[in-house]
Amino acid sequence: METVWPGEPQRLWDSVEDRADLWVPGPEELPTWASSAELGRRYLVVPAWWQRALLLFLALFLAVVVYVTVGRHLSWESYGPVRRVLAVVLLVAVVGGLVAVVVRYVWNEVRWARSRSEVLAAISARLQGDRIPVWALLVGKIRLGDRSSGPNDTPDDIQFIFDLRVSRETLRRQRAVATAWVDTVAAAYATNVPKDLGTAFGGRACVHCADVFGEQMRGVWMWRKGSVLPYEVLGLALTDPRDAEELTDEDVVFTRRTSRELRRRSRIARR
């Protein structure tokens, strides 16, 4: 069954006007490095520590919720034996789960500390050849509601990932096409979480834009991004975006620091 995308994206490449004033970055804006240690200082070879600890934070949050809603009002004298057993089972489950998450987090951190130099050397070696610079454009007008992230069931964000090896003119047109499509979809729905968009995305983590817009957008990808995760802008791909069967955030090493101005420019704003 053929996937039907809202906004008729296949027609946009020929209808969108060229915009010489549209900002796009260049490969020269990515930092260079002379050693694997310097690569680790300038690029996020692994997620930041607080991202690695998200599961731990979630477990602590759930433990606090259980304590506030149940533990504080627990009265052993007024409970019969059945309720006491259930309370003990709940307590053991919560504490056991929390301990398991803490142990897993500590183990992963120890393992990363031990393998850090080897991982950095391996990634550095992979990037020494043909480096593939990429740029991420965050969509702020429409979102994916078929899955959600965060404690408030927040719809997922969408990112366009562009291959910066193309010419500036081609990159500007690719951005113009992506922006025109987002504007078209946003204008066609009363909500910024169109059901048709979620259906077309089909729960996938990434979609090659060549399959959505046509061959002119080969090398451009759409990503699903959890709204609770940071927005990363410039990076180096470990897999060629033009030939890859799948390109996710695990295939890109992003820069460690991004200026506020670069983030602002790398966004399709709501207004």
Instruction: Tell me the per-residue pLDDT of 141-163, one tens digit each, with 9 for 90 and over.
Output: 999 987 766 555 688 999 999 99
- As a whole number of angstroms, the distance between CA 138 and CA 164 comes to 16
Q: What Rg value do the Cα atoms of the chain yield, rounded?
A: 23
pTM recorded for the entire structure? 0.76
* 38, pLDDT greater than 90: no
Strands (E), the chain: 43-44, 132-149, 154-163, 206-208, 221-225, 234-237, 252-255, 267-268
- As a whole number of angstroms, the distance between CA 161 and CA 111 comes to 31
* 222, pLDDT greater than 90: yes
Those residues whose C-beta lies under 8 Å from the C-beta of residue 238, and which sit 6 or more positions away, are 123, 126, 127, 132, 251, 252, 253
Q: What pLDDT does 53 receive?
A: 63
Share the mean pLDDT of the chain: 84
Confidence class for position 77, pLDDT limits 50, 70, 90 = low
Name the residue with higher pLDDT: 68 or 213.
213
DSSP 18: P
Nearest-CA neighbor of 240 among 221, 225, 223?
A: 221
Q: What pLDDT does 1 receive?
A: 45
Over residues 192-214, mean pLDDT:
93
Number of H helices, E strands in the chain: 8, 8
- As a whole number of angstroms, the distance between CA 213 and CA 229 comes to 27
* 120, pLDDT greater than 80: no
Which of 27-41, 48-62, 86-100, 120-134 is predicted least confidently? 48-62
* 18, pLDDT greater than 70: yes
